[in-house]
């Protein structure tokens, strides 16, 4: 596509894009700082612990955790190994498929998520929700799923054949 067909951003769109870009760079860093300072964990670890703690079953397959977090399975695999070494999760054979395994929270993992959640939720509330009006929150609630759908890879929700 040549530049003659490019739909350039107007001034307002350019300003909004810069604000979004700054948010995308700054918010994850602020969240990591909060989790590291208050709970001595990374946001990835917290995310995995949260998914496992909220699951209806006591354990999940790694693929289910990856799907819930919208993460690449290899990224999750490396993190799970580190979390297992730290004693935050347990692995056991999958009773329905002996080739696979299930992951669950260890007692230390339960303690970690229970200790981290109140301060993390307060960070999210104070830095995100308290700074928005009800109308602004509703606008994000409408806009963000549309943006996510626009950037989702084609076939991302299709089951993988591996």
User: 67-82: per-residue pLDDT in tens?
Assistant: 999 998 888 999 999 9
How much is the mean pLDDT over the chain?
90
Q: What is the CA radius of gyration of the chain?
A: 19
pTM: 0.83
Q: Which domain holds residue 137?
A: 29-147
Residue 132 lies in a domain: yes
What's the rounded Cα separation, in Å, for the pair 134 and 136? Answer: 6
Look at residue 161 in the predicted model and tell me its pLDDT. 34
Residue 155 lies in a domain: no
CATH number at residue 66: 1.10.10.10
Give me the number of domains the chain comprises: 1
Look at residue 159 in the predicted model and tell me its pLDDT. 41
User: 39-57: per-residue pLDDT in tens?
Assistant: 999 999 999 999 999 999 8
What's the rounded Cα separation, in Å, for the pair 44 and 136? Answer: 27
Residue 9 lies in a domain: no
Q: To the nearest whole percent, how much of the chain has pLDDT over 70?
A: 91
Look at residue 98 in the predicted model and tell me its pLDDT. 66
Residue 20 lies in a domain: no
């Amino acid at each position: 596509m040549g530049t003659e067909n490019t739909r350039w951003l107007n001034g307002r769109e350019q300003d909004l894009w810069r604000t979004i870009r700054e948010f995308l760079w700054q918010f994850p860093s602020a969240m990591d700082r909060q989790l590291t300072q208050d709970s001595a964990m990374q946001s990835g670890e917290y995310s995995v612990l949260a998914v496992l703690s909220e699951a209806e079953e006591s354990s999940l397959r790694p693929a289910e955790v990856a799907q819930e977090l919208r993460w690449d399975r290899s990224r999750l695999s490396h993190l799970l190994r580190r979390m297992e070494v730290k004693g935050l999760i347990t692995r056991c054979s999958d009773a329905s498929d002996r080739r696979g395994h299930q992951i669950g929270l260890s007692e230390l993992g339960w303690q970690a998520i229970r200790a981290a959640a109140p301060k993390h939720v307060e960070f999210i509330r104070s830095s995100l929700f308290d700074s928005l009006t009800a109308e602004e929150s509703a606008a994000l609630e409408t806009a963000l799923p549309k943006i996510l759908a626009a950037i989702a890879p084609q076939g991302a929700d299709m089951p993988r054949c591996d």
